[in-house]
Amino acid sequence: ALSPRLECNAQRHVLTYMEDAVCQLLENREDISQYGIARFFTEYFNSVCQGTHILFREFSFVQATPHNRVSFLRAFWRCFRTVGKNGDLLTMKEYHCLLQLLCPDFPLELTQKAARIVLMDDAMDCLMSFSDFLFAFQIQFYYSEFLDSVAAIYENLLSGKNPNTVIVPTSSSGQHRQRPALGEAGMLEGVEASLFYQCLENLCDRHKYSCPPPALVKEALSNVQRLTFYGFLMALSKHHGINQALGALPDKGDLMHDPAMDEELERLLAQVPGLVNSVTASPEASCLPSRTPPRVGSPWRPLHHSRKVDGESDGSTEETDESET
């Protein structure tokens, strides 16, 4: 049974998709009218379920719903996992470039914030690994509004203002430390963990945007007495439970695994021109049968028709793991 608030959310998001579908219809009237409107709607909502609806869409749509965000994260992971697997460390700008390949107007700001989490707000030109960046980016992107509020709270706490002075729970006063005097706060780094958590809990209650499950947040904070803002974010990004709750990305250990895509990749690799024949002036002729042409008028289905399975590549995993440079 969904709580009324969640149900309301879901309803609102359905409307979002409805609006977007109608908008897409309007934009591509000529093309879709040949296609059939009923089929269009079917495809549209199927793609929403599949999570492919956000591909190459504008940022305002990509961030519009939590489901969109999850889909986007997942798409990014799937498309660029190979980059991570290759072991390349990239700069923030380059990751941003990759993001832009999927979403042309993705704002640099968000990528920067994500990078700050990984680099602990230091040396923004540093290289980052794929997994570090991805998990930090996930937190930043999915919970961006939440994080903004958290930042405000953190600032307040740092400067000694406790927004929750009115609501100090007396029952847990045992674990509740004495609020540090202003001068003391300046000398110690960051803020006190449990106090911080209480503020967060209150935030989660009132926040209309998605928040990480409070229990998991508590878990993330359980080991520390004090923490900084970026330390907190880092803890969030590394927390497996939160990742699983989000449901977009696999566990860190499995980040590079995607057997289905690897298989697909092997098939593609087998068709690299040069392996087959020397390329002539009309490369498209040789490529045409092996690539996926857009087929108008056929029922929607990922097309896995016959591909040349070259004798050379068995799809053996050794080949994919070898880095060929």
Partner 1 sequence: MIPGKYRSVSGRAANNVNCGLHLVIQTSPLPEKNKVRFKKVEFKLNKDTSSFPGRLLQHDLERNYSSRQGDHINLVSSSLSSFPILQRSSEEKILYSDRLSLERQKLTVCPIINGEDHLRLLNFQHNFITRIQNISNLQKLISLDLYDNQIEEISGLSTLRCLRVLLLGKNRIKKISNLENLKSLDVLDLHGNQITKIENINHLCELRVLNLARNFLSHVDNLNGLDSLTELNLRHNQITFVRDVDNLPCLQHLFLSFNNISSFDSVSCLADSSSLSDITFDGNPIAQESWYKHTVLQNMMQLRQLDMKRITEEERRMASVLAKKEEEKKRESHKQSLLKEKKRLTINNVARQWDLQQQRVANIATNEDRKDSDSPQDPCQIDGSTLSAFPEETGPLDSGLNNALQGLSVVDTYLVEVDGDTLSLYGSGALESLDRNWSVQTAGMITTVSFTFIEFDEIVQVLPKLKIKFPNSLHLKFKETNLVMLQQFNALAQLRRIDQLTIDPQGNPVVNFTLWKYYVLFRLSHFSMQKINGTEVTQNDMIMAERLFGILAHVASSELPQYRLISILGDARKKQFRYLLESKGKKPGIINEENNDSKRLVGENTNRATLNYTTRDFYNEKLEEIKEKKKFCKTYIEDLVKEATEINMKNEALQKLWPQMFIELVRDAVIEIRNKNSYMKLCLQQITDQK
Residues 95-154 that bind partner 1 (CB under 8 A): 97-98, 100-101, 104-105, 107-109
Confirm or reject binding of residue 310 to partner 1 (CB under 8 A): no
Confirm or reject binding of residue 180 to partner 1 (CB under 8 A): no
Contact present, 77 and 261 (Cβ < 8 Å): no
Confirm or reject binding of residue 47 to partner 1 (CB under 8 A): yes
Nearest alpha-carbon partner for 154 in 231, 57, 208: 231
Q: Give the 3-state secondary structure of the chain.
A: CCCHHHHHHHHHHHHHHHHHHHHHHHHCHHHHHHHCHHHHHHHHHHHHHHCCCCCCCCHHHHCCCHHHHHHHHHHHHHHHHHHHHCCCCECHHHHHHHHHHHCCCCCHHHHHHHHHHHHCCCCCCCCECHHHHHHHHHHHHHCHHHHHHHHHHHHHHHCCCCCCHHHCCCCCCCCCCCCCCHHHHHHCCCEEHHHHHHHHHHHHHHCCCCCCCHHHHHHHHCCCCEECHHHHHHHHHHCHHHHHHHCCCCCHHHCCCCHHHHHHHHHHHHCCCCCCCCCCCCHHHHHCCCCCCCCCCCCCCCCCCCCCCCCCCCCCHHHHHCCCC
Task: Give the interface segment with partner 1, choosing from 16-24, 145-153, 193-201, 225-233 (CB under 8 A).
Answer: 16-24
Confirm or reject binding of residue 307 to partner 1 (CB under 8 A): no
Q: Which residue of 6, 93, 120, 188 would you call a contact of partner 1, by CB under 8 A?
A: 93
Q: Which lies closer to partner 1 via its Cβ, residue 109 or residue 184?
A: 109
Confirm or reject binding of residue 292 to partner 1 (CB under 8 A): yes
Confirm or reject binding of residue 83 to partner 1 (CB under 8 A): yes
Closest distance between partner 1 and the C-beta of residue 247, in Å? Answer: 19
Confirm or reject binding of residue 56 to partner 1 (CB under 8 A): yes
Confirm or reject binding of residue 27 to partner 1 (CB under 8 A): yes
- Write down how long the chain is: 325
Q: Which residue of 10, 182, 283, 308 would you call a contact of partner 1, by CB under 8 A?
A: 283
Task: Give the interface segment with partner 1, choosing from 2-10, 18-26, 138-146, 187-195 (CB under 8 A).
Answer: 18-26
Q: Which residue of 182, 275, 309, 314 would you call a contact of partner 1, by CB under 8 A?
A: 275
Confirm or reject binding of residue 209 to partner 1 (CB under 8 A): no
Task: Give the interface segment with partner 1, choosing from 171-179, 180-188, 197-205, 279-287 (CB under 8 A).
Answer: 279-287
Interacting positions 242-271 with partner 1 (CB under 8 A): 261, 264-265, 268-269
Task: Give the interface segment with partner 1, choosing from 49-57, 114-122, 192-200, 211-219 (CB under 8 A).
Answer: 49-57
Closest distance between partner 1 and the C-beta of residue 16, in Å? Answer: 9
Closest distance between partner 1 and the C-beta of residue 151, in Å? Answer: 20
Confirm or reject binding of residue 215 to partner 1 (CB under 8 A): no
Nearest alpha-carbon partner for 141 in 45, 51, 44, 72: 72
Confirm or reject binding of residue 32 to partner 1 (CB under 8 A): yes
